[in-house]
Structure 1
Amino acid sequence: MTTRQEIFLPSIHDGIQLEARISYRKIKDVSEQGVKAVIISHPYGPLGGNNNNNVVMTVEDFFSHKGYLTVAFNFRGSGMSKGRTSWSGEPECDDFRTILKFLANPVQINDVEIPKISHIIIIGYSYGSLIASSLASSQTQYTFTISYILISLPLSVMWFLTFFHSSVYSAHLNNLLSSVSTKVLFIFGDSDQFTKASKYKHWIKDNNVLENERWTVAELKNVDHFFVYQQMEVALIDVIKKWVDENHK
């Protein structure tokens, strides 16, 4: 039986309380290897993004049904998280690290007991994918392995979302590209309203992404940035399911 619960965690950036929704199965006998988990982040808060976003919840439900422990959290200023969205995104990067640190060194909160984690998939959608990429630059070592799913990375509006700190996030992406072991699923729609398919394809070509055996690129046909129709969500989950089945058995 899957349990879903809301908790609050203090951000390692400044102690701001962050709202997070955890879904998990209470397992009596967890193997020595532990359980798999995902952390899912949402689009830009000031434009209405939060962890009740349709893409966030669709991905959350998929992984929950596969037996993963899932955490869908709200960046500062979104949902019931305190504070406000920053200009640069730096505090939000620490918000994301807060959730990762919690799963790495769990403490019991309310009735939530986090088991040992064997692998975490970091999932970012839109603005969330930009912030998720920053974790690749962390020097912290974890006992579990980490992989990434980046959905609708907002390449063309990085300057707007980070107040002209695009170079910082380009560096994070380069660190992720240069990782010798991290697997990444990179997903974009060919009808994205913010980043044209040609922009994605140029970025992929310029960074030799298709030659990177650790990266999988999926271009979704007739899919926009918001996944407004159910068939768009279905196409997204089909790609994720195939990648997970091939890489995270």
Structure 2
Amino acid sequence: MSASIGSDIVPETTIVPLSAGHALEVDIYHVPTSTLDLGAQKIAILCHPWSWLGGCKDDPVLESIAVALNTKFNMHVFVPNARSVGNSTGRASFSGKSEAADLEELTRWCISKINNTGCVVIVGYSHGSLLASCHPILSDPIQTYHILLSYPLSPLPLLTFFNASIYRERLSQLVRNPQARVLILFGDKDQFTDVSNYQSWADNLERVRSSSTSETISNNAVEAKVIPGADHFWRGRLNQQMTETITNWLER
């Protein structure tokens, strides 16, 4: 995925109606017309932390990622507020199942608005990484990338209303898919999950990945990376290191 340097773009906010009758408030980072490539277009959709704890589209971590993807790769970036957050309507769920379904429908809407979509990057931060992990890989010719940032491993049962097994299975299904391209990124100072638990989990996902024999699997298509010194909130210089890790992975 080749990169180019652009300027920061202020997002446009719009309301996207969904089929269940509610609507999502979405920030859109447009690609400037002057730099618009007429070839295959790239889309990114970013999912914020848990709404029940104040998570929203204005999270500074997501803003950093949105700007990086938009300016370096000329991506059309969409950052929604989940149900009941900000000007989004609908009833928030405790399990996250409804929000995961909303993400899939929003992706279809985004693809319908961007002609010639060739790449979709699904990014989830904290609780948002649970929703991202449930998003299916799209059909060819669209390439799908998943980026899971600060996955809430230890508090998973509480954050899903004791539906943790569903999310574990969906993530296992994702990494077993030969078409999967997944980056899992976490810090060794995370306040909610000890790094030893993260490393054991990442090792197990690698075993799950390796056990799939349906097709030849790329060695680096699913990668877990730990950032020394980073906590759950990616402040200061570690924010830049996080965005650079993401963009470097996408460039490979």
Same fold (TM over 0.5): yes
Which of 76, 87, 96 is residue 89 of structure 1 equivalent to?
Answer: 96
1:36-185 to 2 correspondences below 5 Å = 36-66=42-72, 67-106=74-113, 114-136=114-136, 141=139, 143-185=141-183
Distance in 1 separating the partners of 2:98 and 2:140: 21
RMSD across aligned C-alpha pairs, in angstroms? 2.0
TM-score, normalised via structure 1 length: 0.87
Distance in 2 separating the partners of 1:142 and 1:26: 27
Question: Contact 2:124/2:132 (CA < 8 Å) preserved in 1?
Answer: yes
Distance in 1 separating the partners of 2:96 and 2:62: 19
Distance in 1 separating the partners of 2:126 and 2:167: 13
Question: Contact 2:156/2:164 (CA < 8 Å) preserved in 1?
Answer: yes
Question: Contact 1:147/1:182 (CA < 8 Å) preserved in 2?
Answer: yes
**CA deviation profile, 1:143-185 (whole Å, cap 9, x unmatched):** 4211111100101111111100011111110111111012111
Give the match for residue 223 of structure 1: 230
Unaligned runs of 5+ in 2: 1-6, 211-218
Distance in 2 separating the partners of 1:3 and 1:236: 21
Question: Contact 2:50/2:126 (CA < 8 Å) preserved in 1?
Answer: yes
Question: Contact 1:152/1:188 (CA < 8 Å) preserved in 2?
Answer: yes
Count of residue pairs brought into register by the alignment: 234
Unaligned runs of 5+ in 1: 107-113
Percent identity over the alignment is 29
Spell out structure 1 runs of 4+ moving beyond 4 A: 209-212
Distance in 2 separating the partners of 1:79 and 1:185: 29
TM-score, normalised via structure 2 length: 0.86
